[in-house]
Structure 1
Amino acid sequence: MTTSKLQALWNHPAGPKTIHFWAPTFKWGISIANIADFSKPPEKLSYPQQIAVTCTGVIWSRYSTVITPKNWNLFSVNVAMAGTGIYQLSRKIRQDYFSDGEPEVATE
């Protein structure tokens, strides 16, 4: 049974023998980098970058559900991108618009 599932994955039109597999697989690096930035102070985050990550995730998540063949790797990486982008944007917005007191000045 396991062999047949691996063979089905290998021969899938969006499987490892195609760019339709490898492009989304490498795109996971963006989501992983965004997760690594969760520990970064919100004032160091960029609105344009996080908006781009969020919009890319939302748009391509939708696209991956309407194309044939279904590419669940593409769908999952873009859901992760949208989720991490939304989280980072929420951190930045809370810092910029809803924090109490004076903004802290970063010293280096």
Structure 2
Amino acid sequence: MSVVYKTSMTAIGKYVPNKLQPLWNHPAGPQTIFFWAPVFKWGLVIAGLSDLKRPASELSISQSGALGLTGLIWTRYSVAIIPKNYGLFSVNLFVACTALYQVSRAIKYQREQAAIEAKQTETK
């Protein structure tokens, strides 16, 4: 399988413009998994952005928190490895931001609900 892949990448590489050759031949470029994994991970960012429409009562703090934490960990890792992978850095930064924003929405909702319940018990 790798022979077919390498042959196809060599054939495609002949059509890549000279200005894009440094990106094409980069150790974290389109010929490697270091490029394609972050590209597909943008799906998590899109899903997180679509969840902004979801009511805060339906958000999972533990799920969003875990996603945010892994986003932060991988953001740090992406600049600690060689070659530095700025595609991985950017996607994980966005994953962390969207997930941690969802956590803040869920916590705010829970606090508002607790305040409403406390107010109702006071008036009884």
TM-score (norm 2): 0.76
> Size of the alignment, in residue pairs?
100
Partner of 1:35: 49
Is 1:70 the counterpart of 2:78 in the alignment? no
Is 1:83 the counterpart of 2:94 in the alignment? no
Is 1:44 the counterpart of 2:58 in the alignment? yes
Partner of 1:54: 68
User: Offset of 1:79 from its aligned partner?
Assistant: 0.4
Higher helix share: 2
The root-mean-square deviation of aligned C-alpha atoms, in Å, is: 1.3
Partner of 1:17: 31
User: Offset of 1:47 from its aligned partner?
Assistant: 1.5
Q: Unaligned stretches of 5+ in structure 1? A: 103-108
Distance (Å, rounded) in 2 between the aligned partners of 1:5 and 1:49: 42
Rg larger for: 2
Ranges of 4+ aligned residues in structure 1 off by more than 4 Å: none
Higher relative contact order, structure no. (Cα contacts within 8 Å, ≥ 6 residues apart):
1
Q: Unaligned stretches of 5+ in structure 2? A: 1-16, 118-124
Q: Are the equivalent residues in 1 in contact too, given 2:61–2:107 (CA < 8 A)? A: no
Partner SS state of residue 116, structure 2: coil
